Structure 1
Amino acid sequence: MSLEPIGIFTLAVGLYCLFSGYQTSVIVFVTLSVLGAAAAILIGSSNIQPAHLFLAFLAITTLSFRKQSAVAFNALRFPQAGFWLACLLVYGAVTGFFAPRLLARMTDIIPLGASEYPSTGGAVPLGPVSSNFTQAIYLTADLLTFLLIIAIGSTKAGFRAITIGIISFTFANAAFAVLDLLTYGTGAQDLFLFIRNAQYTFHDDDMVAGVKRIVGSWPEASAFAGMSLAPVGFMGTMWLCGRDSKWTGPLFILSVILLIRSTSSTGLFALPLCFLLLYVTAVLRSGGRSGTWGSSSVVLFAPPLIVLVALVISLDETLYRQIYNYVDLLLLSKSTSSSAAERGSWNLHGFQNFLDSFGLGVGLGTARTSSFVFALLSNVGVPGTVFFLLFAFSAFRKLHGPPRSYVSDVQLSARNGSLCLLVGALVAGPTVDLGLLFFVLAGLASAQPETEELHSPSPRVISAS
């Protein structure tokens, strides 16, 4: 085991936050979750990321208050969302231990853990892997994160702090992306080594058509693009609702530009679906006397603007050919590439694992896939999939606070951010673990803060008259 420099920094910030309270702690925690390529502590081939290490400090600062502790434990009661997530964790952990042993060699898997199996370039017989344990730890951290965010979000100050934390995450994610391009262009990539020290396979120097792929603080471009979908959904909705517009509007635009520039097929495929979700939100948010300037503008001008852009592209043969070649390279031809064929075989193996395990799954963390749906079915089967669906329904079905208040607008933004993340995971999610940020957003969407309106700039509204 080794404590890395980024781990020493995390411990130092954690000790400071013990004296600063849970509001400061949650802002730091959400921001640290951007360091997806960093390892605070290395244990053999396993990594403890900075946010996971800092989670212990967040738990101490939050659960030391009796009121927040009661809220967190209450979120575990039936039929709350936390209860269903806990059921998924327990079922996944149990199957992760027993299924690879009881069903050993009954099917072939694409192993997620690599410590027991050398690189084979393909499937191996079903058996225990190291990630049975690590994925259970990650899902435990997800559950704890969800409960802590609900507890913190039960207060006005905490609810606001979580929102600031997500804005801070978005800013850091964009900043690391810009620095990634700058350091590559100047030959100073070594400056990023302190946050690229995890035991992962890195693709930070990959090129597409002579263009450097953006990875930012993540191991590869697809991971950067997948996580950037959350800021697109959250910041875009906040801007449409007229909340913190001086930050959310520019960060939304910057996140979209960087996501497109990342050249990730995952992000480019998911982005139109996220835009559709934002447009539906704008339509619903623009009605009545409290419709905001942003949502009304999008509803009015987005369709003719799309038509105008399409006409300009179609009339300019050179521009059309350049855009078509770019889309063909990253999306249309991607389905025939060796990478797509490999990922497709992962999903086929995952579905076969689901069938061969009689619908019960081969165990949490056992099999790698290339879609969250197949990850659920292959690893935790029908029971685990049902538990996740019940969790998602319970977490996102209701917005708290008066309609079009700050609370309901932020929770709508959190729900849209979660859905955008989920869209990316459906395209290329390899595991059941959706990451800490997803459960931060889900917890924020589920929180029930005090009923008084939180302090926030009032949205610019369009009068119906």
Structure 2
Amino acid sequence: MVASQGVADFTDQARHKVHMEALPIAIFWALAVWGGCGKPQVLLYLFFGSMSFGAFAVIPPELTGGLTLTPTPMIALLIILRSLLERGGPHFFVSQALNPRGLLLLFLFWLVATITTVLMPRVFAGEVMVIPVRLTAFTIGEPLWPSTQNFSQFCYLTISVATVFAFAWQLRSEGMRQHALRAVFFGGAIVIATGFLDWLSLYLPMDVLLEPFRTATYALLTEVEMFGGKRVVGLMPEASAFGGVSVSFLAAVYFFRPAMLPGGMQERIAPLLMAGLLLFVWLSTSSAAYVSLAVFFALAALQWGIRQFRAPTTRASKAGFWLVWGGLVAACLVLLFVPRLLDPLLDQFDTMVLQKKNTDSYEERSMWTEVSWQALWDSYGMGVGLGSTRASNFLAVLFASTGMLGALLYCGFVLRSFFRRTAEGISHNRAVLLKALPLAFAPGFASALLVGSTPDFGLFNACLFALSFAVANVSGVCMQRVSSLFVARGVPT
């Protein structure tokens, strides 16, 4: 009787868990269908809003063979599909993939990555040492063999590449670009909300609300403590992921703010979002997030100083400039007489950043990067394919996975995206946005140089690349040239 009662209780608990997990999945797909069938800007808000749910599997892993499909890639697929179904969408994809002034470098990068992933794990099987993407135990290197991770990582990169094309198509108009900027603000608000709920779990029983969104099959480090308190992870898999997404949205909100149309969101909501995001970056206690935060502050200070001294156009901007600097001087005077006020902050920064190299985690991750670099040389610069090795440095895993040729094509595409010539007569908002894009990209890139473990540049960066392409207004010229090629061959456009 006791045994049967125990089995019944376990069955009831399992059934209750399934029901709790089914509800958020149903809500997500209802929102996705609404976005797919409604106005195109709805998908933009869902796209950025979903980035805070990195531990949420929107399809039960039991149905995908253990593969975790999170919300953002699914929304990206809907945006890609919608773009391809719209009139002119397929032609846009093809024209930009073939034109040097369009997205040719990105298309060639994807093509090289595809060929490398198909061939190299088989050509160099058993001959090159790598760090497996799916780690089951500590290792200093294992022989290279084809695996299912080659396919899954190829799918993730393909979605990111196609997202650049889809967003470049969707963001052609100024109205849609303004929606995209507001969607970034919305995504930042969701980051703050999820971080607040996780922080609140320290004091209130929040498991019923949080656990249904933590269904990923990979390791979830949601209860790690540091400095006598819990690291805030929001609804991401771990603190470093939450800190990274917080810094990305912080940089985007700050640098995109001047490009928005004047209004309450720019003047009142943006400062609140920046304050909240800054707080949760600190509460994540992620060393990579702290470094990228330092990069953000350096770029913000440099941009602000140049802008204010070169063109202090308004009395408000001058007043704000001197108010902030006056506040900094006052803070320095206070700390001069009461220096111990900063001791807790300095201790935390010293432990998380300056002393990081003395930890076992740092040594292990450094070893991953070293093995991945060696895999590049052992494969004669051709790479070992997507999903074959991991590192703790984005550039290292990019070169090791796609080879010298693929990595150089990607680097060329990034430089072309953020340092391209603009069309004559460009509007003020577009000029401001073009200058803001590389600044918004830099903090996340700095973080990827410390913790990036896959060659996928990510969907957030995909949107930045597409915004740069759309704002620079090169699409019309590219499409006209490619259209003339189709017409010359008798193909209707």
Q: TM-score scaled to structure 2, two decimals?
A: 0.83
> Partner of 1:103 in structure 2?
124
Question: Cα RMSD between the aligned structures?
Answer: 2.7
Using the TM superposition, give the Cα deviation of residue 299 of structure 1 relative to its aligned residue in structure 2, in angstroms.
Answer: 5.5
Q: Which amino acid aligns with 1:353?
A: A
Using the TM superposition, give the Cα deviation of residue 449 of structure 1 relative to its aligned residue in structure 2, in angstroms.
Answer: 8.0
Using the TM superposition, give the Cα deviation of residue 341 of structure 1 relative to its aligned residue in structure 2, in angstroms.
Answer: 0.8
| Aligned CA distance change for structure 1 residues 359 and 315 (closer, same or farther; 3 Å) | farther
Q: Say whether the 8 Å CA contact 1:314–1:320 is kept in structure 2.
A: no
1:37-76 residue CA offsets vs partner (Å, 9 max, x unmatched): 1111221221121222223332343333324544443332
> Partner of 1:264 in structure 2?
286
Using the TM superposition, give the Cα deviation of residue 132 of structure 1 relative to its aligned residue in structure 2, in angstroms.
Answer: 0.9
Using the TM superposition, give the Cα deviation of residue 415 of structure 1 relative to its aligned residue in structure 2, in angstroms.
Answer: 3.1
> Partner of 2:462 in structure 1?
439
> Partner of 1:196 in structure 2?
214
> Partner of 1:428 in structure 2?
451
Q: Quick check: 1:94 aligned with 2:115? A: yes
> Partner of 1:8 in structure 2?
26
1:268-294 residue CA offsets vs partner (Å, 9 max, x unmatched): 112111111112222343355574678
Q: Quick check: 1:355 aligned with 2:373? A: no
Greater shift in the superposed pair: 182-191 or 361-370: 182-191
2:387 to 354, 365, 385: 365
Q: TM-score scaled to structure 1, two decimals?
A: 0.88
1:142-165 residue CA offsets vs partner (Å, 9 max, x unmatched): 011111111111023221221121
> Partner of 1:395 in structure 2?
417
Aligned length: 447
| Aligned CA distance change for structure 1 residues 298 and 137 (closer, same or farther; 3 Å) | farther
Identical aligned residues as a percent: 22
1:167 to 171, 175, 185: 185
Q: Say whether the 8 Å CA contact 1:279–1:299 is kept in structure 2.
A: no
Tell me, which stretches of 5 or more residues in structure 2 are unaligned? 1-17, 475-493
Indicate the SS of the match to 1:222.
helix
**Rg larger in structure:** 2
CA–CA distance in structure 1, aligned partners of residues 385 and 232 of structure 2: 33
Greater shift in the superposed pair: 345-354 or 40-49: 40-49
2:305 to 283, 288, 294: 283
Using the TM superposition, give the Cα deviation of residue 447 of structure 1 relative to its aligned residue in structure 2, in angstroms.
Answer: 0.8
2:44 to 26, 51, 56: 26
Indicate the SS of the match to 2:68.
strand
Q: Quick check: 1:377 aligned with 2:393? A: no
Greater shift in the superposed pair: 172-181 or 322-331: 322-331
Indicate the SS of the match to 2:103.
helix
1:397-417 residue CA offsets vs partner (Å, 9 max, x unmatched): 135685672223234333322
CA–CA distance in structure 2, aligned partners of residues 294 and 444 of structure 1: 29
Q: Say whether the 8 Å CA contact 1:233–1:417 is kept in structure 2.
A: yes
Write the mapping of 1:15-164 to structure 2, written as runs, cut at 5 A.
Answer: 15-41=33-59, 42=61, 43-80=64-101, 82-114=103-135, 118-164=136-182
| Structure with greater proportional helix content | 2
CA–CA distance in structure 1, aligned partners of residues 320 and 379 of structure 2: 48
Greater shift in the superposed pair: 132-141 or 10-19: 10-19
Using the TM superposition, give the Cα deviation of residue 200 of structure 1 relative to its aligned residue in structure 2, in angstroms.
Answer: 1.4
Q: Say whether the 8 Å CA contact 1:6–1:50 is kept in structure 2.
A: no
Greater shift in the superposed pair: 204-213 or 303-312: 303-312
Q: Which amino acid aligns with 1:414?
A: L
Tell me, which stretches of 5 or more residues in structure 1 are unaligned? 452-465
| Aligned CA distance change for structure 1 residues 321 and 387 (closer, same or farther; 3 Å) | same
CA–CA distance in structure 1, aligned partners of residues 217 and 54 of structure 2: 11
Q: Say whether the 8 Å CA contact 2:160–2:458 is kept in structure 1.
A: yes
CA–CA distance in structure 2, aligned partners of residues 286 and 404 of structure 1: 21
CA–CA distance in structure 1, aligned partners of residues 179 and 258 of structure 2: 21
